[in-house]
Amino acid sequence: MGDPTRRMIFEKLRDRPLAVVHIAEGLQVSRPAVSQHLKVLREAKLISINQQGTKNIYQINQEGILAMRNYLDKFWDTALAAFKLAAEQTEKENE
Amino acid sequence: MNNVEIATIKKEVIVEASQATAFKVFSEKMDLWWPRTHHIGKAPMTEMVVEPGLNGRWYTRHEDGSEADIGYVLNWDPNSFLGLAWQINGEFQFDPELMTEVEVNFIADGPKRTTVKFEHRNLDRLGTGGKTFESMDEGWGMIIDLYKNIAGQAATL
């Protein structure tokens, strides 16, 4: 997500799901450019489309985010347990 | 869960050590405890480094002499608070534009007892790892293998 516009779009969608017309509001880029950014974000699985009638509503990809979160959650459990051991061992050595 | 809850991991660990020891081991001595299997370098990891002080680099060193960035120090308040920028995305690549925050509070409960409150925030910015996501049903082990293959790395971070 090196592109500042793409980042702005993503941050907008973090607040709430939006249609393209509302995503483009306030952005200094053309509608096709917005669509291109949305495509990149979709390919990165950062966002997904929810079809409501004829409208495409873009939203944060919650399922994907949860998966990533769960992975890191487990990782930090392991890491923090190792940290606790190391800190307590260091404390003993200092005595 | 709402977006904010999904985007934040919170943990609490009680450590039988002084606040100063807890802070030092978490920061300067991270190498003592960081799982050696978890890095994004191209060769086996030899050392984890957190450079002390504001804006200090956070990175790993590897057998082939290379280094792999993780992020940098956002807050350095010995011995009570450490803030680190985690800039590894869902594809397990370093992204200097990415900002997720690891925040660690060290609360002294006694001379040799510290409560460590840990948060990793704004995880929704990490993304989910493109191709890997389709294999979610295969379980985490499968995904970790995919991560390895995709980047051609021995990393399992």
Question: Tens-digit pLDDT profile for chain A (95 aa)?
Answer: 567 888 889 888 888 899 999 999 989 899 899 999 999 888 877 888 988 888 899 998 877 778 778 888 888 998 999 999 999 999 999 87
CA angle in degrees (0–180, nearest 5) for B84-B121-A35: 115
The domain over range A4-60 is classified in CATH as 1.10.10.10: yes
Nearest-Cα distance to chain B for A15, in Å, is 8
pLDDT digits (tens, 9 = 90+) for B54-86: 999 999 999 999 999 999 999 999 999 999 999
Strands (DSSP E) contained in chain B are 9-15, 45-50, 57-62, 67-77, 81-86, 100-110, 113-121
Cβ of A44 and B126 within 8 Å? no
Nearest-Cα distance to chain B for A32, in Å, is 23
Alpha-carbon distances of B137 from A3, A27, B92, rounded to whole Å: 31, 38, 20
Q: What's the helix, strand, coil split of chain B in %, to 5? A: 25, 35, 40
The domain over range B3-127 is classified in CATH as 2.40.50.100: no
Nearest CA in chain A to B121: A69
Kindly list the residues from chain B whose CB atom is less than 8 angstroms away from the CB atom of residue A74. 140
CA B126/CA B137 separation, integer angstroms: 20
Residues of A with CB under 8 A from a CB of B: 1-2, 7, 10, 14, 43-46, 60-62, 64-88, 90-91, 94
The torsion of the CA quartet A34, A39, A44, A45, rounded to 10 degrees, works out to 100
Kindly list the residues from chain A whose CB atom is less than 8 angstroms away from the CB atom of residue B126. 65, 68, 72
The domain ranges of chain A are 4-60, 62-95
